[in-house]
Structure 1
Amino acid sequence: MVAIGSPDRFSLAQNYPNPFNPTTTIVYGIPNNGPVTLKVYDNLGREVRTLVNEPKTAGFYTLTFSAPDLSSGVYFYKLESGNFVTVKRMILMK
């Protein structure tokens, strides 16, 4: 994970590539220091992976999500920090 610069608001970019197999990149930004969680859920709302669960300093972050053990389908990734919550959709095609 790499932090570059400091955003003025929260952001969660669409993963790329999308659809993906078996890895994809997720970029997010947080404007304030604080606890951050980024989790992946299946289409039934079950948590399948925790990608981030720790305090972060303000900045932009990039991570790679690898899913060789997951089935093809639609997944959702949710970013939470403070009062901010947002969700994006991604597709795993094997």
Structure 2
Amino acid sequence: YPNPFNPVTSIRYDIPEAANVRVDVYSILGQKVKTLASGTHQPGFYAVQWNGTNDLGHPVASGMYICRINADQFNAVKKLILMK
């Protein structure tokens, strides 16, 4: 939220039980762009922000990206559209 976004979007997710969680952003070619969260989460609601940069802090190009949320046995995918 919002989607499309510029310059920042929030990704919200709910963890029903303690789990190892990883939130990554990928290009449409499947290349990992940025890790937004990684580690053990306790049950609850979470939000992470992505500012349209890669893991090195460099801005990425406008376009569609995929956000993948992994939490032990749970996987979710969200489309993100960056418009500059």
In structure 1, the gaps of 5 or more residues are 1-15
Q: Percent identity?
A: 42
Q: Normalising by the residue count of structure 2, what TM-score does the alignment of the two structures yield?
A: 0.90
Query: Which amino acid in structure 2 is aligned with residue 44 of structure 1?
Result: L
Distance 2:67 2:28 in 1: 11
What is the match of residue 55 of structure 1? 40
Q: Using structure 1 for the length normalisation, give the TM-score.
A: 0.81
TM-aligned CA deviation for residue 82 of structure 1: 1.1
Task: Classify the secondary structure of the residue corresponding to 2:25.
Answer: strand
Task: Give the length in aligned residue pairs.
Answer: 79
Which of residues 66, 69, 74 in structure 2 aligns to 1:79? 69
Structure-2 residue corresponding to 1:31? 16
Unaligned runs of 5+ in 2: 54-58
Q: Moved runs in structure 1, 4+ residues, more than 2 A?
A: none
Distance 1:45 1:55 in 2: 25
Equivalent pair of 2:37/2:48 in contact (CA under 8 Å): no
Aligned partner of 2:7 among 22, 29, 32: 22
Is the contact made by 2:64 and 2:80 (CA closer than 8 Å) also made in structure 1? yes
**Aligned CA-pair RMSD:** 0.9
